[in-house]
Structure 1
């Protein structure tokens, strides 16, 4: 199996995850900014590898499998870092619940797409605009929260903005998940009828 350029970029994105985790915890001045830059670099490769794959017609089965895995790992790892670093009052509860909603939705939609692919209906649950909006909101929120995860008093309002953006992303996550479920529902009902004994 030959690995093409877009897939190398996806592998590079996966390799950036332990780097981000390490930088997130290292006690040097500006480590939060550095961690945010690593996250942004990973997010840029997410867009760029897809662009190259389409533009240069360099799609592959391995790349198609790895790309969504890398995306979900990037988001899940970052959310876990942020939840672990916020342990004060209602703020930590909001962060934990929102992270659980986002990760839970990603797992559910991935399972739904896999099941629909087995039926040959994967295009029915292709990425919709609300899903793209959710992703954009989520990425901005995560960058803001990484930068401000130590909640410095002078930038507390920035942290609050990041929190609210993540909550909005969580709401969009639920909305987009329901959108995909509604698209797949006729096939789910049909499968249930086929499985029902006479």
Structure 2
């Protein structure tokens, strides 16, 4: 292989490695440090700007008795963050949060903090089930309406001591506590692939710059 062809091959491989890093490095960081995600308040209820695509779900939540709390960003390192729109129904001991999937699809999940510690999380989209008896339950019921999702959530809450504080401040505090505690196992499971691809990309870069032989 000529020196020019060898150089071009090295540049192509390096470009692929860099692309892998750009796509996956933040997920590797999230795997290593789930608690590094920050919940950043954006606007209280009276200034919350709900995207039109989420308005139908928001309307159904409000018909069930949920009231708007505000919006926040869930911001991993090296990412701009996911906008989230929060509601609460103190009578149901439940927070509701609307956001978009990575593909831009409207999503809803319900969250109840437990006393003195723990969570019940019920999502209206695919989510692997996970449980720690008496402390944590999470799972998904894809394509459920808000009304149906709330029914599932009530059942999953039975026998567990729900918190009594359903202010926006508590919603933000609970979300941060989830990332720093009981949610870490799920976050690592979701981002394991990102960690592996990051390792592959770093191995490629190391092979190109530190290896004794270049690809021929």
Q: TM-score, normalised by structure 2?
A: 0.27
- If asked which structure has higher relative contact order (CA below 8 Å, sep 6+), I would say 2
Return the structure number with greater strand share: 2
Return the structure number with greater helix share: 1
- Which of the pair has more CA radius of gyration? 2
